[in-house]
Amino acid sequence: MLLRNLLLSFWLTFAVVPSAYAGFRVAGGVGLGSTTTSNEISEDEGPLTMLISVDYVYHSKLILGFEHLRSLAMSPPASSNSFSGLYFQWYWNAVPTPYIKADNLKTDEIVFRDIGYFWGTGVGIAQSANLPDAQGKTSNAAGFYLSPRVGADLQLTNRMGVRGEFIMATTVIGTGSVSSMSLLGSIYFSFN
């Protein structure tokens, strides 16, 4: 059921869209952050977070995509909390475009070559998979989350760019709670 819903969401997001702004971007990054899970007890995991995303330039100011955010503990090494879902980012000016030679530009085409500041939010499923403590109490939680975000993109070359963003993610419906704050730096690759 969940897989069917995810596939339907992917299809709606990436297949039924105008082709004029077609462009996929794949991003991966790490940053500082912490995730707290609570149910019978509360546990923290950090100080690192990891983000993998695939997005689609839907419009000159709008990106739709899929994200997977994980927390990473250093001692002991662990990664037991994750957020997976769909997100959108709305750019104040425009989505930064890949660098194109002036000879290759159409006369009716406008490109934006600056830092693209954005805000947005994500929705999806958050879950934790922590071991119980010595008394058998657990901090495991799962539910639907919201993740507001702000950040900036900068296109470096024709295919590659960098992104910095601040993401707050927290469950709003579910068993227990999972919440995360992350300051991330990512590298993305564009495919037109």
What gap in Å lies between CA 55 and CA 63, rounded to an integer? 6
Residue 75: the pLDDT is: 79
Specify the pTM. Answer: 0.79
Does residue 118 contact residue 89 with C-beta atoms inside 8 Å? yes
The ranges assigned to domains in the chain are: 2-191
Residue 28: the pLDDT is: 96
pLDDT at 86 over 80: yes
Averaged pLDDT of the chain: 84
Does residue 161 contact residue 151 with C-beta atoms inside 8 Å? no
For 2-191, the fitting CATH number among 2.40.160.20, 2.40.50.140, 3.50.40.10, 2.30.40.10 is 2.40.160.20
Measure Cα distances from 96 to 8, 66, 132, 143 in Å. 28, 19, 46, 34
What gap in Å lies between CA 128 and CA 131, rounded to an integer? 10
Closest-CA residue to 17 (of 88, 68, 85, 84):
88
Closest-CA residue to 147 (of 118, 122, 124, 110):
122
Residues near 74 by beta carbon (within 8 Å), at least 6 away in sequence: 47, 48
pLDDT at 43 over 90: no
Q: What angle do CA 120, 122, 127 make, to 5 degrees?
A: 150
**Residue 12 carries which side chain, given as an amino acid letter?**
L
Confidence of residue 110 (pLDDT cuts 50, 70, 90): low
Q: Coil, helix or strand for 21?
A: helix
Q: Which residue has the higher pLDDT, 47 or 192?
A: 47
What gap in Å lies between CA 78 and CA 159, rounded to an integer? 33
pLDDT tens by residue, 158-186: 789 999 999 999 999 988 899 999 999 99
Confidence of residue 19 (pLDDT cuts 50, 70, 90): very low
Classify each residue of 154-191 as buried b or exposed e, where b means 16 or more C-beta atoms within 10 Å of its C-beta: ebeeeeebbbbbebebbbeeeebbbbbbbebebebebe
Q: Which residue has the higher pLDDT, 71 or 102?
A: 71
Does residue 125 contact residue 84 with C-beta atoms inside 8 Å? yes
pLDDT at 14 over 50: no
What gap in Å lies between CA 48 and CA 31, rounded to an integer? 6
